[in-house]
Amino acid sequence: MAVTLEQARRVGCTCLKALLRFAFMVANNLVAIPSYVLYLIVLQPLRVLDSKSFWYIEGVLFKWLLAMVASWGWWAGYTVVEWGDDVKAVSEDEAMVLVNHQATGDVCTLMMCLQDKGTVVRQMMWLMDHIFKYTNFGIVSLIHGDFFIRQGRAHRDQQLVLLKEHLEKYYRSRNRKWIVLFPEGGFLRKRRETSQAFAKKNNLPFLKHVTLPRVGATQVILKTLVAPQENGTPAGGDAVIKESKSKGLQWVIDTTIAYPKGEPIDIQTWILGYRQPTVTHVHYRIFPVKDVPAEPEALTHWLYQRFIEKEDLLTHFYETGAFPPLQGQTKAISREMTLSNLWLVGIQSLAFLSGGMWYCIFQYFYHCLF
């Protein structure tokens, strides 16, 4: 089939745009991430004198970095429409966010749609696969205090012990409020066949759009972060209780990400922008943590039910293009998530100005020394 001149021109424009976007992303990373690290190095005396103020500033810088990632997708036309419960109502409370996982773009989508949820972005902790530690953003996540978890049965028990220790050491000492995890333990395309075989063997529902979740990390988080008055056990040890007057984990936010036609966006698409503008749909359900069982078997059943409900939600979405209404509603209500272009440009400008400032500082000291 012959390629027309118009088609060739369109392909050429797409490739040029992708190349320019990639160059901008590289430059963005080269100035923003080192600037984040250098600012925090300079502020180390403040960390000793006033740890709360130090982590407040770090959180603001962290939110700005996530906004830069969000801007790459936003300017490519990858937007978000939200459904279900309004999570802004619980943005000042502690919450655990459970998310289905389809592709690397899921994280970018969350970085975008949580930008307008108050203080959430700067005070959240992420649980992610250990491979992300070796990406360009790994140093930022390490400093921020995110937890990198190794997958696989051989590492499972040890990783859960390390997660508990990590939460006790960093979660409240750094004033974290939301913790985000992907209980499926991997991408849908990689885990679906194994999950379906497990479901068949154990007489569990056959799922196509999600996989059966793993319970270990969820159980550790609940045991460690739920306040004593809610489950009758110490919340993360005496040291944590003494250093914080927190009410403990109060909510579980069940988050379901849906892409049109079930075609997820990956990080390469997010960066290069070669896919046509796409609206990603995000559905929230909020559960009081007091309604979540603590006993392992009951918790497993409860978590399985959430993902069975996700399956129903996604089936409805792929059939109709919309999520079903909440209980008590006659019609599902959606909310278009928006970002301010002026704000994004301001943050990007600040990043490049910071990079220039640090370069001038190093040049000055270099000439003074040599």
User: How many domains, in total, are found in the chain?
Assistant: 1
Query: By C-alpha distance, which of 115, 167, 121, 114 is closest to 145?
Result: 167
User: What is the structure's pLDDT at 228?
Assistant: 67
| 213 domain-assigned | yes
Residue 147 covered by a domain: yes
Mean pLDDT value across the chain: 89
Indicate whether 179 belongs to any domain: yes
> Residue 237 — pLDDT band, cuts 50, 70, 90?
very low
pLDDT at 147: 94
The CATH number linked to 213 is 3.40.1130
pLDDT digits (tens, 9 = 90+) for 120-145: 999 999 998 888 888 888 999 999 99
In a domain, residue 166? The reply is yes
Does residue 236 form part of some domain?
A: no
Contact predicate 137/80, CB 8 Å: no
Q: Which of 89-103, 120-134, 275-289 has the lowest mean pLDDT?
A: 120-134
* Segment among 84-93, 210-219, 228-237 with least mean pLDDT: 228-237
Mean pLDDT value of segment 344-361: 94
pLDDT-derived band at 3 (thresholds 50, 70, 90) equals low
pLDDT tens column, 295-334 = 999 999 999 999 999 999 999 999 999 999 988 788 888 9
Token pair for residue 10?
């369109």
Confidence of residue 230 (pLDDT cuts 50, 70, 90): very low
Does 237 map to a domain?
Answer: no
The residues pairing with 249 across neighbouring beta strands, listed in sequence order, are 94
Cα–Cα separations (whole angstroms), residue 292 to 37, 233, 326: 39, 14, 20
What percent of the chain stands above pLDDT 70? 94
In a domain, 86, yes or no: yes
With a cut of 70, say whether residue 244 has pLDDT above it: no
Q: For residue 324, what are its two tokens?
A: 């079903």
pLDDT value of position 125: 95
**Of residues 280, 339, 269, the one with CA closest to residue 80:** 280
User: What would the mean pLDDT of 259-282 be, rounded to a whole number?
Assistant: 93
Q: In what order do the strands lie in the sheet with 249-258?
A: 147-149, 124-129, 178-181, 94-99, 249-258, 278-288, 78-84, 334-337
Residues 173-186 pLDDT 10s: 999 999 999 999 88
* Residue 66: domain span: 5-224+247-324+332-369
- Please give the helix or strand (H or E) that residue 300 lies within, else none: helix 296-320
